């Protein structure tokens, strides 16, 4: 008997054990029924990944699943939210069981790490794409938005920047590296980003604004500036670069430009007033990630790149799906 | 300047006025921030429509939008939920402004009719498809699930069945009708289904189980039977047929078979114990739709089709995207 849509869904997506008590009715009815804790607000975000645009159709399905879910969880991290539930809409050219098994392995491994329950979705026939909607909780009034920054706040990023762009260049064959360890490391940074969930939660009450870097630091910081009505001065020499990126791009300016424009980093960019700076290190101690101050906000608009006291005229753009 | 992704989103999807007080932070940040009323559970459903599978790429975008949202709202209706918020993930081959304007017209007209707020989404480049996630509220413990039916309960459907299949046959050119009024009417039934939101809410406390008919009555009733561990006897002569369907398919058995198998009807199928039957008519009085009793549940499994006292051996199947 041929696989049909219902078999597929039942076999691959209904087998996650329900371990959350706030899932009243799990996947399998017309809707999931869910309970939001009293005193919490619901944070919701949706992202689509399309084969050929966001990933290669022949990519390892477990990695594709990881990245699809990680990029959505990263949006929750950027709000300071705690992940809870996820919906998955999967469009497939055909019911490929090997692909599905790999996809599920990557998807559920990450979901279970963050105790996220799959509560619904749809499996349809068509060109390969993945749409994920994540749901999380934030204590009322404590969410980290893009619009809360003030002039004088300091600009921070978590982790290192630029590694994902380096990994992508390797995937696309735009550059080679000889050391297999270096290659594997950069590929992992591209394929297996870690959403900064714990860091986002830890920054509640400390950061005034936050977002995750998915379109490149320049483009994403621009969103905070637009929403908050401010300008930023960034000292490029303070950008955190991994040793691996410095080996991939030994010319320092190129490494810095990768760090400024690399999309899909899924690090957090956030702003902190002077009086909260001392609290950052302690707050992030258990998040597994460090934060680096890269600049400061001031009145005006736009981003000024500096090297120490010297303005730079680098022309950089964020990632844009519809750009020619 | 060429349209880019951000312009598109900003121009078409950020202009819906926020009229709901439970939307704390609307579209435009990493996540939407939403407040679920105390005492309510959250009902969530996701559906994808793919061009070429669920609609024709050249179809009127306003109708495509209506149907995409209506099919999702129909899932809320089937739970007895009140719609609140929606996320929209739209994948487009190119940023076609005429198509987008039409799509938004159809989408927001229906969203505003039900006071549904667009709270997020994603616009990506790729083969045309639409994924919608709807959110609604149900008073705690009052949702209509698929699993609550009992032996002896009566089986009802709202509205008429089969019109959508007739409209689809016209779209696909499988059959012609000469009367332009008849043609327009059946096309509208296919393109512009009305989610039975008010009926679903009215049936809380009356129906024991419910779902919406998206894959055909036979397939969908089968879900209630599987979840509730029961069998059903359906009297085909009780199936509600519109005058338009009877003109489209003058041979009665063919009209009945269309009614049994037609997907995308978005009528509700629900079960009611004997003691609640008298309450149905009053409950539905303000919903704009009538309900018809078409059979009864009993112990066992599967669906038996009867004509009065005579069993029928019609072989019917539901709609299956992956079927050959």
- What stretches of B81-123 show up as alpha helix (H) in DSSP? 97-113
Q: Which residue has the higher pLDDT, B308 or A248?
A: A248
What integer pLDDT is reported at residue A3 of this predicted model?
Answer: 42
From CA A47, how far away is CA B120, in angstroms rounded?
Answer: 9
Give the residue from B38, B92, B130, B131 with the most A CB atoms within 10 Å of its CB, the best one to mutate: B131
List of residues 6+ apart from A120 with CB closer than 8 A: A27, A31, A32, A87, A88, B44, B45, B46
The closest CB to that of A31, out of B33, B81, B324, belongs to B81
Distance from CA of B178 to the nearest CA of A (A): 34
Distance from CA of A246 to the nearest CA of B (A): 30
What integer pLDDT is reported at residue A7 of this predicted model?
Answer: 58
Sign of CA dihedral A287, A288, A290, A291: negative
Distance from CA of B202 to the nearest CA of A (A): 17
Direct distance between the N- and C-terminal alpha carbons of chain A, in angstroms, rounded to an integer: 46
CB of B137 within 8 A of CB of B81? yes
What integer pLDDT is reported at residue A146 of this predicted model?
Answer: 95
Report how many helices (DSSP H) and strands (DSSP E) chain A contains, helices first.
Answer: 10, 13
Q: What is the mean pLDDT of chain B?
A: 92
Contacts of A49 in chain B (CB under 8 A): 124
For residue B257, what pLDDT band results from cuts at 50, 70 and 90? very high
For residue B323, what pLDDT band results from cuts at 50, 70 and 90? very low
Mean pLDDT for B90-102 is 90
Q: Looking at chain A, which residue has its C-alpha nearest residue B210?
A: A30
Cβ pair A31:B127 closer than 8 A:
no
What integer pLDDT is reported at residue B312 of this predicted model?
Answer: 93
Q: Name the token pair of B181.
A: 């009024």
Core vs surface per residue A284-322: b (16+ CB within 10 A) or e: beebebbbbebbbbeeeeebebeeeeeebeeebebbbbb
Q: Is the pLDDT of residue A209 over 60?
A: yes
Mean pLDDT for A51-59 is 89
Give the residue from B22, B25, B30, B263 with the most A CB atoms within 10 Å of its CB, the best one to mutate: B30
Cβ pair B89:A122 closer than 8 A:
no
CB of A307 within 8 A of CB of A236? yes
Nearest to B273 by CA among B190, B96, B155, B142: B155
Q: Is the pLDDT of residue B11 over 80?
A: no
The closest CB to that of A120, out of B45, B122, B323, belongs to B45
Q: Which residue has the higher pLDDT, B82 or B3?
A: B82
Inter-helix orientation angle A180-191/A61-79, to 10°: 60
Cβ pair A32:B44 closer than 8 A:
yes
Q: Looking at chain A, which residue has its C-alpha nearest residue B213?
A: A30
Contacts of A70 in chain B (CB under 8 A): none
What integer pLDDT is reported at residue B305 of this predicted model?
Answer: 96
Q: What is the mean pLDDT of chain A?
A: 92
What integer pLDDT is reported at residue B209 of this predicted model?
Answer: 97
DSSP code of B311? E
Render pLDDT for B284-318 as a digit per residue (tens, 0 to 9).
999 999 999 999 999 999 999 999 899 998 877 65
Give the residue from A22, A23, A30, A79 with the most B CB atoms within 10 Å of its CB, the best one to mutate: A30
From CA B321, how far away is CA B175, in angstroms rounded?
Answer: 22
Cβ pair A42:B36 closer than 8 A:
yes
For residue A12, what pLDDT band results from cuts at 50, 70 and 90? confident
SS3 A235: strand
From CA B33, how far away is CA A42, in angstroms rounded?
Answer: 6
The closest CB to that of A48, out of B49, B124, B322, belongs to B124
From CA B285, how far away is CA A294, in angstroms rounded?
Answer: 64
Contacts of A118 in chain B (CB under 8 A): none
Render pLDDT for B199-253 as a digit per residue (tens, 0 to 9).
999 999 999 999 999 989 999 999 999 999 999 999 999 999 999 999 999 999 9
**B22 φ/ψ angles, rounded to the nearest 5 degrees:** -85, 0
Render pLDDT for A145-175 as a digit per residue (tens, 0 to 9).
999 999 999 999 999 999 999 999 999 899 9
Q: Name the token pair of A255.
A: 């490494």
Q: Looking at chain A, which residue has its C-alpha nearest residue B49?
A: A124
What integer pLDDT is reported at residue B75 of this predicted model?
Answer: 97
The closest CB to that of B91, out of A43, A50, A133, belongs to A50
ipTM: 0.89
Nearest to A88 by CA among A107, A61, A67: A107
Distance from CA of A38 to the nearest CA of B (A): 7
Cβ pair B212:A30 closer than 8 A:
yes
Distance from CA of B145 to the nearest CA of A (A): 7
Nearest to A113 by CA among A197, A11, A211: A197
The closest CB to that of B4, out of A45, A145, A320, belongs to A320
Contacts of A136 in chain B (CB under 8 A): 31
Report how many helices (DSSP H) and strands (DSSP E) chain B contains, helices first.
Answer: 10, 13
Q: Is the pLDDT of residue B324 over 50?
A: no
List of residues 6+ apart from A69 with CB closer than 8 A: A86, A106, A107, A110, A111, A116, A132, A134
The closest CB to that of A89, out of B38, B42, B46, belongs to B46
What integer pLDDT is reported at residue A28 of this predicted model?
Answer: 83
Residues in chain B: 324
Contacts of A100 in chain B (CB under 8 A): none
Give the residue from A40, A55, A92, A131 with the most B CB atoms within 10 Å of its CB, the best one to mutate: A131
For residue B6, what pLDDT band results from cuts at 50, 70 and 90? very low
The closest CB to that of B122, out of A35, A42, A46, belongs to A46
Domains in chain A, start-ordered, CATH in brackets?
5-139 (3.30.1330.10), 154-311 (3.90.650.10)
Q: Is the pLDDT of residue B67 over 90?
A: yes
From CA B256, how far away is CA B251, in angstroms rounded?
Answer: 9
Nearest to B288 by CA among B197, B225, B223, B226: B197
Other Cβ atoms within 10 Å of B263 Cβ, number:
18
Give the residue from A46, A77, A227, A319 with the most B CB atoms within 10 Å of its CB, the best one to mutate: A46
**B265 φ/ψ angles, rounded to the nearest 5 degrees:** -80, -35
CB of B40 within 8 A of CB of B139? yes
Cβ pair B127:A129 closer than 8 A:
yes
The percentage of residues in chain B with a pLDDT greater than 70, rounded to a whole number, is 94
From CA B19, how far away is CA B94, in angstroms rounded?
Answer: 31
For residue B9, what pLDDT band results from cuts at 50, 70 and 90? low
**What pTM, to 2 d.p., does this model score?**
0.91
List of residues 6+ apart from A80 with CB closer than 8 A: A138, A142, A143, A144, A200, A201, A203, A204, A207, A210
Task: Tell me, rounded to whole angstroms, the distance of Cα A253 from its chain centroid.
Answer: 25
Cβ pair A2:B323 closer than 8 A:
yes
The position carrying tokens 């059959």 is B175
For residue A223, what pLDDT band results from cuts at 50, 70 and 90? very high
From CA B112, how far away is CA B131, in angstroms rounded?
Answer: 19
Cβ pair A32:B45 closer than 8 A:
yes
From CA B6, how far away is CA B3, in angstroms rounded?
Answer: 8
From CA B233, how far away is CA B27, in angstroms rounded?
Answer: 48
């Amino acid at each position: 008997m041929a696989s049909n849509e219902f078999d597929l869904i039942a076999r691959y997506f209904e087998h996650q054990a329900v371990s959350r008590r706030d899932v009243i009715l799990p996947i399998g009815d017309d809707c999931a029924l869910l309970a939001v804790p009293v005193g919490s607000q619901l944070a919701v975000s949706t992202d689509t990944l399309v084969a050929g645009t966001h990933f290669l159709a022949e990519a390892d399905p477990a990695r594709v699943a990881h990245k699809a879910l990680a990029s959505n969880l990263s949006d929750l991290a950027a709000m300071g939210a705690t992940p809870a539930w996820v919906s998955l809409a999967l469009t497939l050219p055909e019911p490929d069981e090997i692909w599905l098994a790999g996809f599920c392995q990557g998807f559920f491994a990450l979901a279970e790490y963050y105790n996220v329950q799959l509560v619904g979705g749809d499996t349809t026939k068509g060109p390969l794409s993945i749409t994920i909607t994540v749901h999380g909780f934030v204590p009322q009034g404590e969410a980290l938005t893009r619009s809360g920054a003030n002039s004088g706040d300091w600009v921070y990023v978590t982790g290192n920047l630029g590694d994902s762009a380096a990994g992508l260049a390797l995937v696309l064959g735009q550059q080679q590296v000889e050391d297999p360890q270096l290659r594997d490391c950069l590929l992992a940074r591209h394929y297996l980003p870690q959403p900064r969930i714990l860091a986002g939660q830890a920054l509640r009450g400390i950061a005034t604004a936050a977002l995750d870097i998915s379109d490149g630091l320049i483009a994403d910081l621009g969103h905070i500036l637009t929403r908050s009505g401010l300008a930023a001065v960034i000292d490029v020499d303070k950008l955190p670069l991994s040793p691996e990126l410095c080996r991939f791009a030994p010319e320092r300016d190129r490494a810095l430009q990768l760090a400024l424009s690399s999309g899909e980093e899924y690090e957090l960019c956030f702003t902190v007033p002077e009086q909260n700076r001392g609290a950052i290190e302690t707050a992030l101690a258990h998040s597994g990630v460090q934060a680096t101050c890269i600049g400061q906000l001031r009145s005006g608009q736009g981003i000024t790149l500096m090297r120490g006291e010297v303005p730079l005229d680098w022309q950089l753009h964020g990632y844009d799906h519809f750009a020619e």
